A and B are shown apart, each in its own frame.
Chain A
Amino acid sequence: MAEIERVGEIIEASTTGFTAQCYELYQMPPLGSLVKTGDSAAELYGIVYNATTTSLEPGRRPIARGKDEDSEEAIYRSSPQLAKLLRSEFGALVVGYKEGDRLYQHLPPQPARIHGFVYQCSPDELKDFGKSFDFLNIILNAHLPVPGEELVAASLRRMSQAHEDRRAFLVAAGKELAILLSGNLNQLNAILGRIKL
């Protein structure tokens, strides 16, 4: 079995989502990735909806340093402490959980725990999760800093990569969306335009 990739540690959690800090600067999972946290008794699944890189100390904003440097890398090379002063974080929307062998695509009874490790899901897990499209409804109804159609499209694009027949997967997802968004043609069109191959 491939080594499971650990992508961060939870520093803030609620019923509907969690925020995790990355161990390395800029090493956050891509937008729309499916991540998980928790132990084998109960695993929570989240979709990465946002990522930020900010100063470690609140109130101390970074300053521009590259005036005399040739490249961006050179800045980091000449100020190695920078990696310690900045941090990358990402937010994930909770879209389901697994208890024992059963996977549910609705909110879990308990939120994630602080310092819980966050892992990138494997292709097999992506496939398993993609057997149901109930999670799309959670995304469309969430109040997020990114537009819902962007996140839906990003998550479906990523999930489709785990499927041998990407197109069939996307068509099935599209049909689910067409039903969910039967009263909102514009949003439907926006998503379909973003997921077509």
Chain B
Amino acid sequence: MTERLGIVVSGSLNKGVEVRLDSSASIEDMAVGRFVTIEGEKRRFFGMITDVSLGVTDPNLTLTPPDVSDPFIAEVLAGTSTFGTLHVSPSLVIGGDAAAILEGPQPVKTIPSHFSAVKLSTQEDVELVFGTEDEKRFFIGNPLDMEVKLCLNLEELVKRSNGIFGKSGTGKTFLTRILLIGMLQKSQAVNLVFDMHNEYGWAGTREGGPPVKALKQLFASRVAVFTLDEENSRHRGVSTDGVVRIGYDEIEPEDITLLRQTLNLTDLAVEAVHQLYRKFGRNWIQDTLGLKGAEELPEGLNIHEGTLLNLQRGLATIRRLPFIEPHSPVNAVKAILEHLDRGINVVLEFGRYRDITAYILVANMLSRRIYDQYQSRVEKADAAAKESLKPRPLVITIEEAHKFLNPEVAGQTIFGKIAREMRKYNVTLLVIDQRPSGIDSEVMSQMGTKITCLLDNDRDIDSVLAGVPGRNELKSVLAKLAAKQQALIFGHAVPMPVAFQPREYGSAESYRGFAPQKDAEEEIEKLWD
């Protein structure tokens, strides 16, 4: 069924087109973000409703409103003297001839002619633009107000670093879980998730409901859970595949730079770290903590008493982290890499250690060292001109991304480097953040695809949409998303921006959809082995 909404009455390529709503279509049924099709004379255009407004033919009508309490008069005036207007931004167009249909939808270079009919898009339209479920495309949800599957090409998605944004409670975690499952099923990439709140490995929380299953319960053979807090994981009934401990001797100055804010370090203290590291080498933390005062500093180090105290206080905070030891007995990096190499996705749970210091420190250290491995392997493969020697593409997921990627530190951290390098060494990021304005703008601009749930802070909205064509229109869509489980996706992996409702996650039926029954049963069998 093609439901006509109205006709194009004016517009421009830059600003989009104005559509006069038919009187049979109620303005109240229209919502920004809705995917629509415009039948031009020769071509079919695809776009999104980005604004809705009301118009009158006679300004007197607004001065002396008619008696609309009379349903007859209200019905007569609707769509004639009073009418609704939609603003539609067309993004893609497809010609009517055979060659054009083969070529598929293309970016718009013109707009539909006067009085072209605007319709609700059909399933075929959505499939024409976004494709259907196949070995690369994963069903992520429905376009707003439509019962049609919206698919995302995950092979394309993982080629770049991507971001998931939205204020707290809007569905970022649920959406991330859905995407992780998609990557697991439809791409060659393997995931490493730094799971601050223990939501991705075994089970996740759900507002006002029982916990939801997480990755390992659905795909036992493809997911390993590592933990920083073995006791807590056991307590929650999670079967873990490895324990991560960190030695002081593994912590490098860069890690401290990143912690400057959370540890309340002065700039001088951060500078001192580099001097101390050069002097003491790998044992620098223990040695520094052992100093009784500036007078005990070795020859050649010029650090003020106050600076040293400030630094020692910070380092003591790190030392108190329960998973930190003078020297770690386990090589966490090696164990994680072994899993990743076999195509097994790794979720690192933080257990009770949810404070941001622990998170930043661990995510940064492990990522840096894993990245180094990737770099040297890719370089070796390149030198030998052997594509097969390259490690599998890796996607690293981090939350609270602005802590790693704010303008102050983005230039120095491994995460800033990965984001900027695109996929040079087969590593990309999936960043999750509720405050994207805190992220360095250059890093933001390097992200291939962004998915954003509701944001209500103007600065956050601007930072997510910076540099995006048609951002003013998208802004009104973004600001009007529902408070939960609605998102806007745009960028590299989608042919045009689209607002959608992510798949429902958490019911038995949804699990069957994500992990078809047969697999799930097999997985459960394996758990008993």
Asked if B58 and A179 sit within 8 Å, CB to CB, the answer is: no
Evaluate whether A192 and B76 lie within 8 angstroms (CB atoms) in the complex, with A175-B23, A182-B81 already known: yes
Q: Report chain A residues within 8 Å CB of B76.
A: 171, 174-175, 177-178, 192
The residues of A that contact B528 with a CB separation of less than 8 Å are none
Instruction: Kindly state the interface size class of chain A when it binds its partner.
Output: 10 to 19
B72:A178 contact, CB within 8 angstroms: no
Give Cα A84 to B60, complex, Å.
Answer: 54
A188 to B81, CA, bound (A): 10
**Which of the residues B60, B70, B77 comes within 8 Å of A178, measured between beta carbons?**
B77
Q: How far is the CA of A21 from the CA of B119 in the complex (A)?
A: 55
Binary CB contact string for chain B from 79 to 120 against chain A (1 if under 8 A, 0 otherwise): 111000000000000000000000000000000000000000
Q: What is the chain A residue whose CB lies nearest that of B66?
A: A189
- Complex CA gap A170/B58 in Å reads 22
Contact with B along A158-172 (1 / 0, CB 8 A): 000000000100110
CA distance in complex: A167, B75 (Å): 11
Complex: A97 Cα to B81 Cα, angstroms: 30
B330 contacts the other chain (Cβ, under 8 Å)? no
A58 to B58, alpha carbons, bound, how many Å? 49
B468 to chain A, nearest CB (A): 39
Contact B23 A183 (CB under 8 A): no
Residues of A within 8 A of B73 (CB): 174, 192, 196
In the assembled complex, the Cα of A197 lies from the Cα of B73 at a distance in Å of 10
Residues A175 and B58 in contact in the complex (CB < 8 Å), given A192-B72, A197-B72: no
**Residues on A with beta carbons closer than 8 Å to the beta carbon of B75:** 171, 174
Report chain B residues within 8 Å CB of A64. none
* Chain B contact residues: helix, strand, loop or mixed: loop
A185 interface residue (CB < 8 Å to B) = yes
* Interface residue? B57 (CB, 8 A): yes
Cross-chain contact B72 with A182 (CB below 8 angstroms): no
Do A175 and B57 form a contact, CB below 8 Å, given A167-B72, A196-B72, A196-B73?
no
Q: Which residue of A lies closest to B73 (CB)?
A: A192
Q: Which of A171, A179, A188 contacts B72 (CB 8 A)?
A: A171
B6 to chain A, nearest CB (A): 15
Q: Mark B20-33, 1 if CB is under 8 A from A, else 0.
A: 00010000000000
The smallest beta-carbon distance between A52 and chain B, in angstroms, is 34
Cβ–Cβ < 8 Å partners of A197 in chain B = 72
The minimal Cβ–Cβ distance linking B224 to chain A, given in whole angstroms, is 66
Interface size class of B (residues with CB under 8 A): 10 to 19
Distance (whole angstroms) from the CB of A171 to the closest CB of chain B: 5
A196 nearest CB neighbor, chain B only: B72
Q: Taking chain A's interface residues, is the majority helix, strand, or loop, or is none over half, making it mixed?
A: helix
Assembled-state Cα–Cα distance A174/B23 (Å): 12
> Does B61 touch A at the CB level, under 8 Å?
yes
Give 1 or 0 for each of A119-155: 1 = CB within 8 Å of chain B CB: 0000000000000000000000000000000000000
**Beta-carbon contact of A178 and B80 below 8 Å:** yes
Interface centre among A170, A171, A185, A197, by most chain B C-beta atoms within 10 angstroms, is A185
Residues in B neighbouring A196, C-beta threshold 8 A: 70, 72-73
In the bound complex, what is the Cα–Cα distance between A182 and B79 (angstroms)?
12
* In the complex, chain B residues whose CB is within 8 Å of the CB of A175: 23, 76, 79-80
**Complex interface: chain A residues within 8 A of B60 (CB):** 185
Given the complex of chains A and B, what is the CA–CA distance between A170 and B72 in angstroms? 9
| Interface residues as binary, B177-212 with A (CB distance below 8 Å gives 1, 0 otherwise) | 000000000000000000000000000000000000
CA distance A151 to B75 in the complex (A): 22
Alpha-carbon separation in the docked complex, A182 to B81 (Å): 6
In the bound complex, residues from chain A placing their C-beta under 8 Å from that of B79 are 175
Bound state CA distance, A182 and B77, in angstroms? 10
- Distance in angstroms between the alpha carbons of A170 and B75 in the assembled complex: 10
Q: List the B side residues contacting A177 at CB < 8 Å.
A: 76
Given the interface contacts A171-B76, A196-B70, does A182 sit within 8 Å of B57 by beta carbon? yes
Check B80 against A183 for contact (C-beta < 8 Å).
no
Residues of B within 8 A of A192 (CB): 66, 72-73, 76
Closest to B78 in A: A175
Pairwise interchain contact B58-A185, C-beta atoms closer than 8 A = yes
**Residues of A contacting B57 in the complex (Cβ-Cβ under 8 angstroms):** 178, 182-183
Q: B7: shortest Cβ distance to chain A, in Å?
A: 14
Chain A residues whose C-beta falls within 8 Å of the C-beta of B81 in the assembled complex = 178, 182, 185, 188
User: Residues of A contacting B58 with CB < 8 Å?
Assistant: 182-183, 185
Complex Cα–Cα for A183 and B59 (A): 9
CA–CA, A45 and B182, complex, Å: 70
Chain B residue with Cβ nearest A192: B73
Q: How far is the CA of A142 from the CA of B75 in the complex (A)?
A: 28
0 or 1 for each of A180-197: is its CB under 8 Å from B? (1 = yes): 001101001100100011
Bound CA–CA A179/B80 (angstroms): 6
Q: Are A185 and B61 in contact (CB under 8 A)?
A: yes
Residues of A within 8 A of B70 (CB): 196
A170 to B57, CA, bound (A): 21
Complex: chain A residue closest to B63, CB-CB: A185
Contacts of A182 in B (CB 8 A): 57-58, 80-81
Expressed in whole angstroms, the Cα–Cα distance for A175 and B27 within the complex equals 17
Are B61 and A174 in contact, with the CB atoms below 8 A? Answer: no
Closest to B57 in A: A182
* A163 and B261 alpha carbons, distance in the complex (Å): 78
> What are 18 of the A-B contact pairs (CB < 8 Å)?
A170-B72, A171-B72, A174-B72, A174-B73, A174-B76, A175-B23, A178-B57, A178-B81, A179-B80, A182-B58, A183-B58, A185-B64, A185-B66, A185-B81, A188-B81, A192-B73, A196-B70, A197-B72
| B interface residues (Cβ-Cβ under 8 A, vs A) | 23, 57-58, 60-61, 64, 66, 70, 72-73, 75-77, 79-81
Seed contacts A171-B75, A185-B58, A189-B66; 12 additional CB < 8 Å A-B pairs: A171-B76, A174-B73, A175-B79, A177-B76, A178-B57, A178-B76, A178-B81, A183-B58, A192-B72, A192-B76, A196-B70, A196-B72
Q: Which 6 A-B pairs have the closest CB atoms?
A: A174-B76, A178-B80, A182-B57, A196-B72, A178-B81, A175-B80
